[in-house]
């Protein structure tokens, strides 16, 4: 008998605007709190967007914001932990919306296990991902390949934490977009991607499925894939 918690997985196609995806996370947090939804995992790529977390500093944005917006870019001030980062095409962003009561660890262990999911996924491609204390995220040598920033939402009905926000894994994204910020507020270390390390492209869909497999193993959950849908 399978007693593992179910997590519904939504691998969305195309590029997704940041704002509506954030609103969807808030909606799902409420639905999970009300017992109307299973824990869920959104996996997607965003249109070019810079997001600023709760610990972010304005001086870490190095570009003309108005000009960026006029070019169709988005800048979002959000309620996750961390500083400024970039999201865009060629980057897998994962938003686990899960009840921590369905998970054996606490908030600190949750962050470490998100890192573990990415470390295991990278190892499938011969890449050695590592943690770098005191920072959160996954690194290859001195280069950051995956940023992590989350929010723990206190449930109203169930009185427990429900997670939102998550991780961003650089697969084949334009790394020059990070030159316009101080990523995660860390000046001394650059970023990297799977493409830069391997010298060849890897299918986003392949890595997405590998992330789900590793998520199941690390978090002790059973995934249930759902049909993609549009967010606009």
- Phi, psi values for residue 164, rounded to 5°: -150, 175
Collect all residues with Cβ–Cβ distance below 8 Å to 129 and sequence separation of at least 6.
118, 119, 122, 123, 138, 139, 140, 145, 146
Q: Please answer whether residues 36 and 63 qualify as being in contact, where contact means their C-beta atoms are separated by less than 8 angstroms.
A: no
* Positive or negative: CA dihedral 195, 198, 200, 203: negative
Q: Please answer whether residues 93 and 121 qualify as being in contact, where contact means their C-beta atoms are separated by less than 8 angstroms.
A: no
Chain length of the chain: 232
User: To which residue do tokens 């169709």 refer?
Assistant: 72
- The residue from 146, 173, 184, 224 that is catalytic is 184
184 assigned to active site = yes
Pairing of strands 84-87, 91-97: unpaired
Q: How far apart are CA 203 and CA 11, in angstroms?
A: 14
Q: Please answer whether residues 64 and 88 qualify as being in contact, where contact means their C-beta atoms are separated by less than 8 angstroms.
A: no
Interhelix angle for 107-123 vs 204-219, to 10°? 140
Catalytic annotation, residues: 184
């Amino acid at each position: 008998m399978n007693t593992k918690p179910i997590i519904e997985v939504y691998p969305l196609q195309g590029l997704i605007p940041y704002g509506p995806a954030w609103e969807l996370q808030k909606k799902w947090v409420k639905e999970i709190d009300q017992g109307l939804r299973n824990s869920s995992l959104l996996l997607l790529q965003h249109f070019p967007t810079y997001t600023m977390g709760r610990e972010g500093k304005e001086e870490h944005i190095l570009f003309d914001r108005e000009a960026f917006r006029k070019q169709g870019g988005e800048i979002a001030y959000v309620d996750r932990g961390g500083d400024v980062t970039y999201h865009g095409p060629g980057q897998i962003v994962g938003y686990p919306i899960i009840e921590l009561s369905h998970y054996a660890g606490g908030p600190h262990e949750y962050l470490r296990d998100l890192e573990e999911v990415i470390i295991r996924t990278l190892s499938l491609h011969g890449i050695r991902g590592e943690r770098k204390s005191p920072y959160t995220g996954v690194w290859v040598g001195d280069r950051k390949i995956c940023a992590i920033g989350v929010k723990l939402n206190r449930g109203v009905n169930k009185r427990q934490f429900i997670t939102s926000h998550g991780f961003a894994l650089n697969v084949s994204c334009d790394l020059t977009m990070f030159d316009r910020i101080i990523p995660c507020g860390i000046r001394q270390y650059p970023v990297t991607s799977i493409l830069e390390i391997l010298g060849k492209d890897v299918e986003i869909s392949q890595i997405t499925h590998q992330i789900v497999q590793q998520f199941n193993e690390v978090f002790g959950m059973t995934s249930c894939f759902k049909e993609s849908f549009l967010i606009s």
